[in-house]
Chain A
């Protein structure tokens, strides 16, 4: 990080800046919902932004990269022949106020759909990634049940254009990381260069917030793989599977869950239609149902295990694909989704009982 690309802006200027950006760009930012929670929505006016939000119910990643019912391709019949057309194009946007754990989630999306897949990279994902600018915001209030610090996801190191940090004195520290970020920052009316003292202040703020995450991963991140390999037949999975109501909420709220279904949506005239992508979940029993009715992950325990292993054992280009946001913990109606609780129970040799 070069010192000259770090600045300081005042809080009032920050809102003016957003107002200016809104003239040119669509801004996706955390706003307060009617029930007092938070959600990423496209802004109508800058005051709607809640910079002190703890977390949103739904992650911004799905909203950006997998909009519900996104058209993959379209078709229409012309003289009896099927002619295919393109699907939905990308929506240029600036994501404002994305927390570091959600920024870490982008890395998993890149691994599953991005350029690393070479010829199989998802074209719509790449296009959307291209036109999405990320203005990150360091966490002020760690989300309930979160454990980002022990996963190293409390500080973002890549995949953002600008990172903002509240210095708790009415000023924000602005780190501009990319050219795109610089061009966005140019519309700020009033700013100062960050002094060495400001850098120190940011470090202190980050260190202080890091201690406030309520949970800690019970297994060191480097040992997760070996830890879970030894426990794939642990009774925890089946016992927990019995309690699972297969509502799939834990996956729908997960910022790193990328699974989807592609389904057909014909128009009523039968002469045109499209293929649309929608969220899907490995926690639904029919997810692995094959022709002939055989289900690959038939037992609920196998599905519970798949989720835990997918987040902590299978590598999506990161040490763990869980980012520790704790959304699944709060979403689960059966109170069994908590990864911390799962790893704690797995650590015990005995069959866990309630």
Chain B
């Protein structure tokens, strides 16, 4: 490996944890900074490496404006229930439980960022609707935090968020802040309400964009793949332009550098060419496996 300039592809950089916020009992937000002082480049996600355990791609949730520091939010996936003795849990440690054991001042080994993000800058002067399902809020807040900094460059901005229950709002502080300041039009839908009654899905709050002209309205749909079809069906009546409808597509990624082939959608690589694709790209490049 002597003459390999791009050996860094697989070698992580060390990042120090500056701040940890408990979002819910299962999700934490980490503020990080690279030890060697390098900037964080553009990209949608990073690969967090847990020595001896493995590696996982994790979405960035900080604004692309921040170059010095960056944030990731991670849901802890617990080992199967039944046994809780420490040795057993240790052997079943995964990358998310590993990250959750970290404290402020500890370090994480990180590759990236990788991927192409939602092109906020190309959409200035438009109405923006970020349609989010559940944990999709982690990558979903990335463009929103950037829009918040240059709010006057955009027309109406909607945050249309559907989640399982009011307890799973993931970024309650941000959502409340945006709701109160009215900087964004925030609408939330809960599958199950606080009192246990049946609520609604994110498709129920999409009518917020009623009246927005298709030519200057862009939507960014980010969430589990099951929500894409119902959301598209509901949006149909607004006649949005294909080039203004963006999806953040999820696929399994092992190498994050377009090499392993796991994240292929037809002939494109989600980790390099995506994960954010416009509907126009999906149609033009005939990525019928995408949705």
Chain A residues proximal to chain B, CB less than 8 Å: 72-73, 75, 77, 81-82, 84, 86-90, 112-113, 117, 119-124, 126-127, 130, 229, 232, 258-264, 266, 270, 273, 275, 280, 282, 287-292, 294, 296-297, 302, 306, 309-310, 313-315
| 15 pairs from A and B in contact (CB 8 Å cutoff) | A73-B10, A75-B51, A81-B107, A122-B9, A122-B257, A123-B1, A130-B3, A260-B259, A262-B55, A262-B254, A264-B54, A282-B264, A294-B225, A294-B226, A296-B265
The answer to whether B260 touches A296, judged by C-beta atoms less than 8 angstroms apart, is no
Complex interface: chain B residues within 8 A of A315 (CB) = 267
Q: Tell me the interface secondary structure of chain B in the complex.
A: loop
Q: Which of B44-61 contact A (CB under 8 A)?
A: 51-56
Contact of B261 among A259, A291, A294 (CB under 8 A): A259
With A86-B7, A260-B261, A291-B250 given, name 17 new contacts (CB 8 A). Answer: A72-B10, A89-B1, A90-B1, A120-B258, A121-B6, A123-B4, A123-B5, A261-B260, A263-B54, A264-B55, A266-B52, A288-B252, A288-B262, A290-B250, A292-B224, A296-B252, A297-B289
Cβ-defined contact, A82 with B51, below 8 A: yes
Inter-chain contacts of B288 with A (CB < 8 A)? 232
Contact of B53 among A229, A259, A264, A297 (CB under 8 A): A264
Number of interface residues of B (CB under 8 A): 43
- Chain A residues near B54 (CB, 8 Å)? 263-264
Given that A120-B259, A122-B9, A262-B255 are known contacts, is A89 also in contact with B286, CB under 8 Å in the complex? Answer: no
Q: Of the candidates B109, B226, B272, B286, which one forms a contact with A120 in the assembled complex, judged by CB atoms under 8 Å apart?
A: B272
Inside 8 A of A127's CB, which chain B residues have their CB? Answer: 1-4
Q: What residues of B have a CB within 8 angstroms of the CB of A260 in the complex?
A: 254-255, 259-261
Chain A contacts for B107, CB-based, 8 A: 81-82
Residues of A within 8 A of B53 (CB): 264, 266
- What is the CA–CA distance of A270 and B56 in the complex, to the nearest angstrom? 19
Question: From residue B260, how far is it (CB to closest CB) to chain A in Å?
Answer: 5
| A89 cross-chain contacts in B, Cβ below 8 A | 1-2
* B167 interfacial contact with A, CB 8 Å: no
Are B224 and A294 in contact, with the CB atoms below 8 A?
A: yes
- Taking a contact as CB atoms closer than 8 A, the residue among B5, B51, B56, B261 that contacts A77 in the complex is B51
